[in-house]
Amino acid sequence: YWGGCLRKVDGNGTISAVFAPITRKVTIEAGEGGSLSITVDGKAVASGSSLIQGSELNIMATPGTGYSLDGLTLNNKSFSSAKYILGKEDVTFKATFAELVNEYPVTATATNGIVRLYKNDGTPIPSGTALPDGTPFKAIPFANAGYELSALWIDGENVTGEEGVYSGMVDGETTVLATFKPKEYELSIAGTTGGSVSVKNGEGNDLSNDGKVKYNSSVVIGQPTANAGYKFISLIANGQRIEQFPATLTVSGALAITATFEELTPIKDEYIINAKQTYTYNGQYKSFIIRTSQTHATDFNVAYEKDGSVVSGVPIGAGTYNLTITRPADDVYKAYTSDADYFKEKLEIAKAKIAVTEAPKIEDGKITNYGNTTLGSDTTLKVEQNGNVWKFSYTPKDGKKDNYDGTVYYLSTGTSRTITISGAAQLRSTGTDPEPAGYVRISNGGKVYTPDELKSEIKEGIEITVEAVPDENSRFVEWKEGAPEGKNNQPSFTTTVNSNMIFTPRFTLKENVEVSLSKTSSEYGEAHDITLSSTIENAQISIFKDEECTQPAELKNAGSYYVRIYRPATDEANEINKVFLYTINRATPTPDAPATTDIAAGETLAQVQMLGGSAGSVAGTFSWKDSATVVKAGTNTYPAVFTSADPNYASVENVPVSITGLSATKSNDPGPGPDPTPDPDPENPDVPTSIEEIASETQIVVNDGSLLIYPCVPVDVAVISIDGKYIFRDKVGKMVNVRIPQPGVYIVSFMNEGKRVSRKVCVL
């Protein structure tokens, strides 16, 4: 629904809309003895012309020789201003002239500004009005935006004024002439840490920070260049993001250019977990597995060194390796090379131990089978006899010694003994969860005994290896019985069988480690290093955009994130796998208020144009908090709103903007002035009152990348992009031109008396 009609889609089709601007008829009438002219942007307007609502009309009544201006009306009501903003109705300007009788016309002319005339009591005098000879009057010049008064002449005499008010006296036909010159504004070039930006004037000359630029001149901004280790992020000129370079800007006020360069993210050694990784040789390549914390960098390169020699490729042989880990720079991370000792001896490939697969046999005191091992024919065998005990020593041959350790198997013809695992069935203590559990494994020469063999084949004199093996959620504590002296706390030991034996291990549940974040929020622009409330070695810290932890994210922009803390189970503690919410709050910018031009006291803020203004590197726009506020005489501050276009920054509701309201009487009374947006007539039933009617009857025109909004009555209007960014927000009573940064769908929201109605608009 686009604020128009609904149509069921039943095939290919084309929808087109034609928008036309709202126009108002301007009628110009002048009586005998003079002329009345109206210009828009310096071009003359013919009576009966239709002009776009919101056009600024410049009105000039010129009496003929022997005549003076008798009266100037707008729609039959007295009118004294030299400017008028075309509102929501057709207008008729009428000038009448009278023959001079001892009176002389006082005419005010100016370029790039206007001059308003007043009697000493503050009553406005339209230019061309006849006054008696010797009548005192006051003249107040008002410069157009970007200009300042150069000089003011009364009948050719350069006069001086006080606080912007100039005094004169009628002496025959009196002419007041004001000349205005372009202002010079300060140029600020900030935020060049990490890079540089070239700024030139229209002639190609370099401009520097704190330099001066003239109104309406050109400034050319070149493509910013980042230093090594940095990348260019954005360039903001007076709140507007510049996307294409070189960019040519026309100076309309103080110009603040802020280039932002971001340092590439460093990869610290501690971001790569350097826990020693141990494998047992099995003839396969064993690479060091990169596990990172607080970074999403991947594609690391690992170089291996063993015994002072560089290893080609990935290691395969047993030994202890030193590592050097590197990663080239990209548009996110700096280049990384690990510290020389950070990964020293962090990869170990242990020798495989030969295990007996077929036990040797002795019959009638003679060896009938010499057994076999996992290494088969690549072993040598040495047999030794000591009484009833036979010792079979299997040793890897020379070509295998680098990767294998030998083993010893004992065979006895002595008395048979039994081995009992206390409280276990099938060698296993099967506690019920959450009870701790584990089992005992007994072997000889790497060959593990079955329960039946423990009852029948264990004989005096042999040497066995006893191991306590805890379940996944349990850990070994001690041997309650069966361990040799000094071995009670060791999970495995070797012992010689000399009697019936009982082994009783004790297990306990692994520790559940509590983990939390030291802080769960920060502000955009601060450091966002995640720290844990307790030290947990080798914890992996990962950042995600979703609670399910499927969308990796950089902890950078304002918003909500999910921090996953993971560490696999260790011998002492269970696995850690926790997810915490972390919030980066929007920062609040500190805007520099825009400048304004002087205005006649009594006019509203809607007539005051803001020039310049900046919030540094934060894109955004300024608008009056209440544009219907009447400007008082003197210099006062009025609240403006800085609406941030950067989602990382909040808007600022009360930016004090200084305005000087000039008054011929120097009183705090706002004084007379035109109403650029007359209030609707309460007796006119056609004036919309509900917010639904206002939204429906307000015309929105898409024109060359802009939205022209013609409110039918004064109303608060906001233009918001589909992703929630404010493009414009203000109370408007006349046509407003909202420049759209890029094509897309936008929301135009109307607010009145606490109610809101929105319309969608597509800008192509």
- Cα 657 to Cα 494: distance, rounded to the nearest angstrom: 87
Beta-carbon count within 10 A of 382 CB: 11
SS3 of 443-459: EECCEECCHHHHHHCEE
Question: Taking residues 76-92, what's their average pLDDT?
Answer: 81
Q: What is the DSSP letter of 251?
A: -
pLDDT of residue 149: 93
Quick one: pLDDT at residue 681?
A: 43
Which tokens sit at 708?
């022209």
- DSSP letters, 227-250, are PTTEEEEEEEETTEE--SSSEEEE
Query: How does DSSP classify residue 224?
Result: P
Strand 447-448 versus strand 34-40 pairing type: unpaired
Domain boundaries, the chain: 23-182, 199-263, 269-350, 353-412, 416-509, 521-585, 595-662, 691-763
CA distance 137 to 119: 5
Q: Is pLDDT of 1 > 60? A: no
CA angle, residues 64, 41, 94, in degrees to nearest 5? 40
pLDDT score recorded for residue 724:
65
pLDDT band, very low/low/confident/very high, at 674 (cuts 50, 70, 90): very low
Question: Each residue of 583-604: pLDDT tens digit?
Answer: 999 999 999 999 888 888 888 8
- Stretch (H or E) spanning 696: helix 691-697
For the chain, count helices (H), then strands (E).
2, 70
Confidence of residue 423 (pLDDT cuts 50, 70, 90): low
Q: Which amino acid is present at 365?
A: G
pLDDT digits (tens, 9 = 90+) for 200-221: 998 999 999 988 999 989 999 9
Residue 316 has pLDDT above 90, yes or no: yes
**pTM value?**
0.63
From the centroid of its chain, how far is CA 530? Answer: 18
Structure-token match 């020798």, residue found: 351
**What pLDDT, on the 0 to 100 scale, is given for residue 556?**
87
pLDDT at 18 over 60: no
Q: How confident is the model at residue 679 (pLDDT cuts 50, 70, 90)?
A: very low
Q: Is residue 383 over pLDDT 70?
A: yes
What is the domain class of 691-763 according to CATH? mainly beta
Task: Calculate the average pLDDT of the chain.
Answer: 86
Taking alpha carbons only, the member of 467, 475, 466 closest to residue 431 is 475
Give the mean model confidence (pLDDT) for residues 449-454.
87
The model's confidence at residue 735, banded by pLDDT at 50, 70 and 90, is confident
| % of the chain surpassing 90 pLDDT | 52
Model confidence at 687, in pLDDT bands (50, 70, 90)? low
Burial class (CB in 10 A: 0-12, 13-18, 19+), 211: middle
Please tell me the predicted confidence (pLDDT) of residue 678: 40
| pLDDT at site 10 | 60
Q: CB neighbours (10 Å) of residue 653?
A: 11
Residue 360: how many CA atoms within 13 Å on its side-chain side? 26
> What confidence category does residue 81 fall into, taking pLDDT thresholds of 50, 70 and 90?
low
14: confidence class by pLDDT, cuts 50, 70, 90: low
- Whether the Cβ atoms of residue 318 and residue 278 lie closer than 8 Å to each other: no
In this predicted structure, what is the pLDDT of residue 3? 43
- Confidence at residue 139, expressed as pLDDT on a 0 to 100 scale: 94
The CA distance from 617 to 241, in Å, is 9
**Is residue 183 pLDDT above 80, yes or no?**
yes
CA distance 354 to 445: 8
Is residue 46 a contact partner of residue 25, using CB atoms and an 8 Å limit? no
pLDDT(99) > 50: yes
What pLDDT sits at residue 409? Answer: 96
Quick one: CA dihedral 308, 309, 310, 314, positive or negative? negative
248-299 pLDDT, tens digit each: 999 988 899 999 999 998 999 999 999 999 999 999 999 999 999 888 888 9
| Identity at 401, one-letter amino acid code | K
End-to-end Cα distance, the chain: 17
pLDDT value at 432 more than 60? no
Check residue 746 and give its pLDDT: 81
* pLDDT above 50: residue 710: yes
Q: Tell me how far apart the alpha carbons of residues 436 and 509 are, in angstroms, rounded to a whole number.
A: 5
Please check whether residue 600 is in contact with residue 142, taking contact to mean a CB–CB distance below 8 angstroms.
yes
Q: Which of 552, 564, 637, 626 is nearest to 594 (CA)?
A: 637
Is pLDDT above 70 for 2? no
Which residues does 377 contact at the CB level (< 8 Å), separation at least 6? none
The listed CATH number (2.60.40, 1.25.40, 1.10.287, 4.10.830) that belongs to domain 269-350: 2.60.40
- 605-627, pLDDT tens digit by residue? 888 888 888 888 898 999 999 98
Mean pLDDT of 695-704: 76
- pLDDT class for 663, splitting at 50, 70, 90? confident
- CA 570, 575, 578 angle in degrees (round to 5)? 145
Contact, 451 vs 442, CB < 8 A? no
CA distance 722 to 716: 19
pLDDT band at 8 (very low <50, low <70, confident <90, very high): low
- Strand runs labelled E in 42-173: 43-44, 49-52, 56-63, 67-74, 77-78, 83-85, 91-99, 103-110, 113-118, 124-125, 129-132, 136-143, 147-154, 157-159, 166-169
**Exposure of 239 by Cβ count < 10 A (0-12 exposed, 13-18 middle, 19+ buried)?**
buried
Distance CA 217, CA 219 (A): 7
Sequence-separated (6 or more) residues with CB below 8 Å from residue 702:
19, 708, 761, 762, 763, 764
pLDDT band at 675 (very low <50, low <70, confident <90, very high): very low
67 vs 33: CA distance, rounded Å: 6
Alpha-carbon distances, residue 290 vs 22, 54, 342, 544, 581 (angstroms)? 66, 65, 13, 19, 26
With a cut of 90, say whether residue 722 has pLDDT above it.
no
Do residues 125 and 80 touch, judged by C-beta distance below 8 A? yes
The pLDDT confidence band at residue 378, using thresholds 50, 70 and 90, is very high
Question: Is the pLDDT reported for residue 190 higher than 90?
Answer: no
Q: Give the residue-averaged pLDDT of 25-54.
A: 88
**Separation CA 492–CA 484 (nearest Å):** 11
pLDDT digits (tens, 9 = 90+) for 474-519: 999 999 999 999 999 999 999 999 999 999 999 999 999 999 999 9
Mean pLDDT of 734-759: 80
CA distance 45 to 65: 24
User: What percentage of the chain reaches a pLDDT higher than 70?
Assistant: 91
CB 721 within 8 A of CB 727: yes
DSSP string, 34-72: EEEEEEETTEE--TTEEEETTPEEEEEEEE-TTEEEEEE
Fold identical between 269-350 and 691-763? yes
